[in-house]
Amino acid sequence: LAEMSSGGGEAVDMGHWMQCYAFDVIGQITYGRRIGFLDHGADVQGIMRAIEDQLAYGTLVGIYARFHRAAFAVVNFLAGKKGAGREYVVRLSKARIAEEQERRRADNAGSRNGEGAEPFVSKFLAKHELDPEKFSMHHVLAGCTANMAAGSDTTGISLSAILYYLLWHPQCMRELRREIEEFRTRGLLSSESFGFKETQQMPYLQAVIKEALRVHPATGLPMERVVPEGGATICGRFFPAGTIVGVNSWVAHRNTQIFGADADTFRPERWLISDEEKLAAMNRQWIPFGIGSRTCIGRHISTLEISKLIPRIVHGFDFELANASAAGSWATQNYWFVKPRGFKVRVARRKLENDEGSQGREYGK
């Protein structure tokens, strides 16, 4: 962002950069090192494109399942093996696994003292060594590649949505900056890194995050289920066996009976009420990460990434929508993930020495 802010006002695609950040974080968590998206600012080895293609394919054949067998054969043939993004993820995972195995042999499976948090690849291998039959090398590889495939798009989309709605609602941006400055003044934010435990205690920040994920959940299609033999009665309505049912979070999150008559409006304050019964009802209906036994297993990692990055960037930088007419109607595409298209913004460093926490340029009006 510092480099972007010195680019003479040139607009940048924040949707792309948010995904680059999410990819490098998940790479650090999974392998103990970044992949290099932020360093290069580009789609490393076509990984992003490969995931998009797979999502588009899965969306279409998920609806028209009878075409899957024939279509899958054609897609695989056309993709080939020459540097395809998904093949690169597999090769990368195998290489990092081999490196970690060598490290563990050299250290006699020793700990990573002084090397930071233990990455997933190390945890997976430790589990494999304890019981190779129950947790095979196939599971180690599958765990690493699954992290990469599922751990970037959703977080990148959520980060983009939060920033977009803050730009569209400058009064919310001002209030968030006021809270950040208040916490800094009171010594509740220990450093510029904005610790996760500290940001969890910031009520307005958490309300902004929750509201943005309500208005723009990253997933735009339901997790379908098939009604079993004997049928099922759901919300007072009977569904015969074989019926495909599901709940779309975009619909659930706009239930006016739960979220109020302004359910279509971005309003973080709705989460800051004292009515515990209403809050409980909203929390039950808030499902950007799914619900029940199928809740997203990466939810807490995503929450950590978001809670650390958003206050850091809105405190240090000003943002302006490159296309002011996009306010309230940004372009998105729904192939399972509802991804922004052309989320262009201009970036400028904030002059914090003149800032008292509530002022700053009011972009996005």
CA distance to 264, 349, 357, per residue, from 180 (Å): 27, 16, 7
HSE-CB at 35 with a 13 A cutoff on CA atoms is 30
E-strand spans in 94-222? Answer: none
Which value, in Å, is the radius of gyration of the alpha carbons in the chain?
22
Q: Is 229 exposed, middle or buried (0-12, 13-18, 19+ CB in 10 A)?
A: exposed
Of the candidates 102, 114, 119, 107, the residue with the CA atom closest to the CA atom of residue 31: 119
Q: Give the whole-angstrom CA distance, residue 285 versus residue 252.
A: 6
Of the candidates 339, 355, 40, 43, the residue with the CA atom closest to the CA atom of residue 164: 339
Of the candidates 87, 25, 27, the residue with the CA atom closest to the CA atom of residue 54: 87
Q: Give the whole-angstrom CA distance, residue 136 versus residue 131.
A: 8
Place of tokens 């945890």: 123
| Strands 332-335 and 12-13, sheet pairing | unpaired
Sequence-ordered list of residues with C-beta below 8 angstroms from that of 169, at least 6 positions apart, any chain? 266, 364
Binding-site residues for heme: 296
Q: Give the whole-angstrom CA distance, residue 173 versus residue 156.
A: 19
Joined together, the tokens standing for residue 4 give 């972007």
Binding-site residues: 296
